[in-house]
Structure 1
Amino acid sequence: MSAMLSLRLCGLKLGGKTILQPLQLDVRPACWTAVVGPNGAGKSTLLSALAGLLPFDGELSLQGRGWATWHSRERARVLAWLGQNETSADDLSAEDVVMLGRLPHQAWLAPASAQDHAEVERAMRQTQSWDWRARALSSLSGGERQRVLLARALAVRASVLLMDEPLAHLDPPHQSDWVQIARELAGAGVAVVSVLHELNIALQADVLVVMDGGHIVHQGAPHEPSTHAALQQVFQNRLLILPLQGRWLALNA
């Protein structure tokens, strides 16, 4: 299956410091890819490079087309982004925040269409945030806020969804809901990429990208022994990875 998003990176520096070493990554459609690794491994920087948010030496293509050949609005309909600790739009209602995800589909200064409103409601019900749609984003708890921001990304109805620590502030039941959403999106053909610290959830993905020191150490399925070995390596052999009821569980050694 051809890649939905392809990155060929010769290196990336921030503030004069090399953050990412030469690497390449192909993101497939109908696949949930989880990026994991210790603190400072370069996970978030990699995701930002995939989203075209950082300059780097190399090539980035979306649906087989070079990044620069895409008009920004056209690209925003295909690729959606959920970053860490987003603070903009605090004074907007939750529903208006989610409506921002529909902007790439709207003509300049045009009012929201019936389809836009339907997609916003659908996304907010999917993240169980519809009940507080009239409340200001700033009035919500951290978990409620995160669910609204996830709904905004879902409302785009993009073919590629990049999420940096999407489980931040979510309690275990809503983390399970997020896993179900990720699986449903991948099942519908979407390329889902998430940076996760929660290894037990990452081990439920289709593909694990294991990073350390700005390198991609390994890419593979969560059930593969080589993936377990890579996880052990980057976490300094302080993990036990055990099977449990058809899944894999990571425990502190």
Structure 2
Amino acid sequence: MIEILNPTELARAGVTGALVGDILRTLRSRSEVGTNLLDIDRWAREMILEAGAQSCYVDYAPSFGRGPFGHYICTGVNDAVLHGRPHDYALADGDLLSLDLAVSVDGVAADAAISFIVGESRPPESVALIDATERALEAGIAAAGPGARIGDISHAIGSVLREAGYPINTEFGGHGIGSTMHQDPHVPNTGRRGTGYKLRPGLMLALEPWVMQDTDRLVTDADGWTLRSATGCRTAHSEHTVAITEDGAEVLTRSARG
């Protein structure tokens, strides 16, 4: 299903997006050496419920997962890049942490992800991975607008990632979003200009470049959810929800607090 939101729904989407951005900003500030992933999940739960929002993850049970996800945020450390299920792990200096959060407010969802390095260490390969996904995300946003096509976004994202030297996996990518978290159209992280669905005002998309340092192959943890690089290499993931407007694309999930 491809959903086109009306102005009232888009206004609600802006509220949801700001909440997602604020929660991620707060969680990043609290994530230090020694922080447990289960504490991050608990903090996310508290902030979601305090805001009167609903988690898109806790009861999420798609065909590719094993039962309901059962947690409020995805936490990926180092080689874990997607659907990282929080578990009893204390963050170490130099860990590359990815946080992926989706919530719904008044029936409209928003989805975003950030990657950052914990502590004082700055491993060059981690810095490069994060930088590439962030630049690819901005390129994808710049390519979005009324009349553009999904392939234009995918090409913009893929060009940045490929130029940075990273393999690109197309099993998982961006997606439509609205009254539910995952909708059509699929937005691969590489593609051809001028192909795919033509964007219309009112369409919302979650754009999410993610990469693994030296492979395009994923493996699944025993938890049935966490997706890791097949070689154990480091990974990074950046995501924003955008709304297509009459004159471009509005990013909804930047933090309202800067």
TM-score, normalised via structure 2 length:
0.30
Specify the structure having the higher radius of gyration (Cα). Answer: 1
Structure richer in helix, relative to its length: 1
